[in-house]
Amino acid sequence: DAGVIQSPRHEVTEMGQEVTLRCKPISGHDYLFWYRQTMMRGLELLIYFNNNVPIDDSGMPEDRFSAKMPNASFSTLKIQPSEPRDSAVYFCATSRAGSTGELFFGEGSRLTVL
Amino acid sequence: QKEVEQDPGPLSVPEGAIVSLNCTYSNSAFQYFMWYRQYSRKGPELLMYTYSSGNKEDGRFTAQVDKSSKYISLFIRDSQPSDSATYLCAMRYSGNTGKLIFGQGTTLQVKP
């Protein structure tokens, strides 16, 4: 398996623009997580899905952030409008029900909002 | 107060040194404890996994959990330059949500 695939790897945009980050999970994994990593705050859980259903979105910072998982093979995290404080590395991670709960991470999408 | 506290470092040691990395946590309901390693510009990868209290050894790595003190440790023996990375502790509650709470991560540099 190719692992968790994220795109784009790097995104530079201007304040106010819409940003869409994409994730293709590992086939057969039931859980999908979106994390954000910054130097100041470390790795923060934004939202996670189980079998394509959002379970906990309490980490989503505000209404500008939204996430969807239309099917088992694809998820998006959208920021609209983007702000400079959204600059971070966004990770998608997946895990399989019944396992130890190990998360498999993608390589991340590095977002810079100017 | 964060649920999981971890000193971000950075920590710099000479090659061959013993490294000790630590995390404290506040919620006694955590049952599963993990250490992830993250190389620069990569995603974290699972390094060690421990359920409840006790020790676990894997090669040069030893993970310890002391639930009475709410304290977990990762020891690296005979550290190598290839061990230079950020080490993140992570933990979760019992049940099968898979939701992990991470520490901030400690950046380790092992100098040749």
pLDDT at A11: 97
Beta-carbon separation of B34 and A31 below 8 A: no
Q: Which residues of B touch A45 (CB under 8 A)?
A: 99-101
Residue of B nearest to A96 (CA): B98
Is A97 in the B-facing interface, judged by CB distances under 8 Å?
yes
Sign of the torsion formed by the C-alpha atoms of B93, A66, A1 and B58 = negative
Is B103 in the A-facing interface, judged by CB distances under 8 Å?
yes
Chain segment A56-92, per-residue pLDDT in tens: 999 998 899 999 999 999 999 999 999 999 999 999 9
Gap from A101 CA to chain B (nearest CA, Å):
5
- The average pLDDT across B49-61 equals 90
Q: Which residues of A touch B96 (CB under 8 A)?
A: 97-98, 101
pLDDT over 80 at B76, yes or no: yes
pLDDT at B97: 65
pLDDT at A8: 97
Per-residue burial over B52-72, b if 16 or more Cβ lie within 10 Å, else e, is eeeeeeeeebbbbbeeeebeb
Beta-carbon separation of B100 and A107 below 8 A: no
CB contacts < 8 A, A to B, total: 63
Beta-carbon separation of A103 and B103 below 8 A: no
Q: What is the largest CA-CA distance in chain B?
A: 43
- Average pLDDT across chain B, whole number: 92
Q: Which of A30-34, A78-82, A98-102 has the lowest mean pLDDT?
A: A98-102
Is A108 in the B-facing interface, judged by CB distances under 8 Å?
yes
pLDDT at B54: 85
Is the CB of residue A86 less than 8 Å from the CB of residue A113? yes
CB count, 10 Å around CB of A94? 26
Chain segment B87-104, per-residue pLDDT in tens: 999 998 876 566 789 999
Query: What is the rounded distance in angstroms from the CA atom of residue B87 to the CA atom of residue B21?
Result: 8
